[in-house]
Amino acid sequence: MLPDWDALPHLQRTDGSHRGEVYRGDMNAVVIDDVTAMRAALVEARLASTHGDVPVGAVVVRNGQVIASAGNQREQLGDPTAHAEMQVLRLAAQHVGTWRLDDCTLYVTLEPCVMCAGAIINARVGTVVFGAPDLKAGAIGSLYNVAVDPRLNHEAVVRQGVLAEECGLLLQKFFSERRP
C-alpha cells in the first residue's frame, strides 16, 4: 500500500500530482528534516515499483522545502539513464533555474551508482543523504567514494543510513517477488 500523500501535506503539489515534475507547492510550508524527506523519497520509490521499475526514489530539498521528486523510470521510459537521482536533479535544476545545486540536499533511498554520483558532482549538490547502502554498485561509500574524492572539482557532504532498514526492505521485497 502506498503512503498517503495527505499525511505529508507540505509535499503536495498544487495540481494534485505527486511525481515526475517540479514541485510548485507552498514554499512557506513546514521545513522538513532528514526522516521526513526520506519518507517522501520512499513514496517515490513505491510509485516506481508500480510500473516495474526498481523501487528507488529521490527528492531534492532547498531551504527546507522539497523542490523536486522522482522515482526510477528506466523500465517505464526505456532509458538506461532514468535513475531516480538523474530525474530529480534535472527537475531541481529546472526549478532553480541553473544547473548549480550547491544549496540543495538530495535524498535518495539507495546509495547512488557511479553515473548518479558523477551527476551529483557535476550538479555541485551540496549534501547527499541516502538510506540503504548498495554493496554491489554504490559509489558514495560502498565501492567508490566519488562524492568526497578530493581529486574532483567538488565534494558533497554525505549522510547515510536514514531509514536504511525501511529502504532496504522495500528493495528486498521487490526483488524477492521477481526472483524466486
Q: Would you name the residues annotated as active-site residues?
A: 85
Asked whether 17 and 1 are in contact (CB, 8 A), the reply is no
Would you state the cell numbers that stand for residue 62, as one nine-digit string?
532547498
Q: How far apart are CA 123 and CA 100, in angstroms?
A: 5
Cα separation of 86 and 115, whole Å? Answer: 9
Is the sign of the CA dihedral 39, 41, 45, 51 positive or negative?
positive
Residues 121, 123, 127: CA angle, nearest 5 degrees: 65
Q: For residue 153, report the phi and psi dihedrals to the nearest 5 degrees.
A: -85, 0
Tell me the three state secondary structure of residue 112: coil
Asked whether the beta carbons of 68 and 59 are under 8 A apart, the reply is yes
